[in-house]
Chains A and B, each alone.
Chain A
Amino acid sequence: MMWAVFIVAAVAAIVSALGVVMARNPVHSALMLVGTLFSVAVLFVLQEAHFLAAVQVIVYAGAVVVLFLFVIMLLGVDREELLEDPLPGQRGIAVGAGVLAVFGLTILISGTVATGQLSARGPAIAGEEGNVERIAESLFTDFLWPFEITSVLLVIAVVGGIVLVRDSGRRPDDDEGEDTGSTAVEETNS
């Protein structure tokens, strides 16, 4: 039963990932990315990481991909992508290197034996308490300092996003319809 779920989720993840790379339309790539994210969330649930599966669906599939779609719609969908390579044979070499990397990585991991001293963070496999309690216990005691820093990081990201996107340097006494940014470019060119 678990094998059936694993095979379906793994195949869906890989096929969706190939769809992200090969789709012509960026909106199709975004939808394929949603498929990959859901399949990876199913793989998380199979490994009893329930909290991470829920957070993955909410944050990644629910917010990040929506953000991608907003920007795709804002910038306009480009259907044509140049087929010539700036370096000759770049795409062929990239695909060849990718296939080699898949083989290399799978050979590497098939011989992996994960040993080592069990860390003091606590067991992952939930005993009596659930997965959420285990993560909460670790997150708010051992990892409290990184947790607070990531909250600062989120504030920085929000402020940075707003600063980057707003119209900077637009003064009210400019000529109508003239963009201050392009004026600066013309001045440096002359």
Chain B
Amino acid sequence: MTIDPEYYLAVGAVLFTVGATGVLVRRNALVMFMCVELMLNAVNLTFVTFARMLDDIGGQVFVFFVLVVAAAEVVVGLAIIVAIFRRRQGATADDLNLLKG
């Protein structure tokens, strides 16, 4: 007996909103980044669910590419965070206001 795909979509939706709320609520730049990864995972789950619903392998291949791009994004994003916060003690998003008018 297979599970209805709507349940997977519901799990994906909850994960996505938890990640989005986390980006809004947290100040630590690293935890914000982790919440972005949560959102990407929720999207991956949705893609795989739709690949199964529509009987299309393209959804799973796209998840593969999302994984690759997410890994590259983590590398560059963490490099930026390290470069900015090398001299500071804290890593909060509120301190990044040098461009503020």
Q: Which residues of A contact B (CB under 8 A)?
A: 2-3, 6, 10, 13-14, 17-18, 20-21, 23, 26, 29-30, 33, 36-37, 40, 43-44, 46-49, 51-52, 55-56, 59-60, 63-64, 67-68, 71-72, 74-76, 78, 81-82, 86, 90-91, 94-95, 97-98, 101-102, 105-106, 109-110, 112, 114, 116, 118-119, 121-125, 131, 134-135, 138-139, 142-143, 146, 150, 153-154, 156-158, 160-162, 164-165, 179, 182
Contacts and interface: CB of A to CB of B under 8 A. Distances in A.
Contacts, number: 248
A17 B15 contact: yes
B2 A2 contact: yes
Nearest to B49: A47
Interface in B12-59: 13-22, 24-28, 30-31, 33-35, 37-38, 41, 44-45, 48-59
Contacts of B11: 10, 13-14, 43
Given A47-B49, A49-B60, A60-B70, 4 more contacts: A33-B37, A105-B17, A109-B9, A124-B54
User: DSSP majority for the B interface?
Assistant: helix
Contact of A135 (B6, B57, B76, B80): B57
Contacts of B41: 36-37, 40, 60
Contacts of B92: 78, 81-82
B21 to A, nearest CB: 3
Contacts of A119: 54, 56, 58
Given A47-B49, A81-B92, A98 B20 contact: yes
Query: 6 closest pairs, A vs B, by CB?
Result: A98-B21, A157-B72, A21-B22, A94-B24, A105-B13, A121-B58
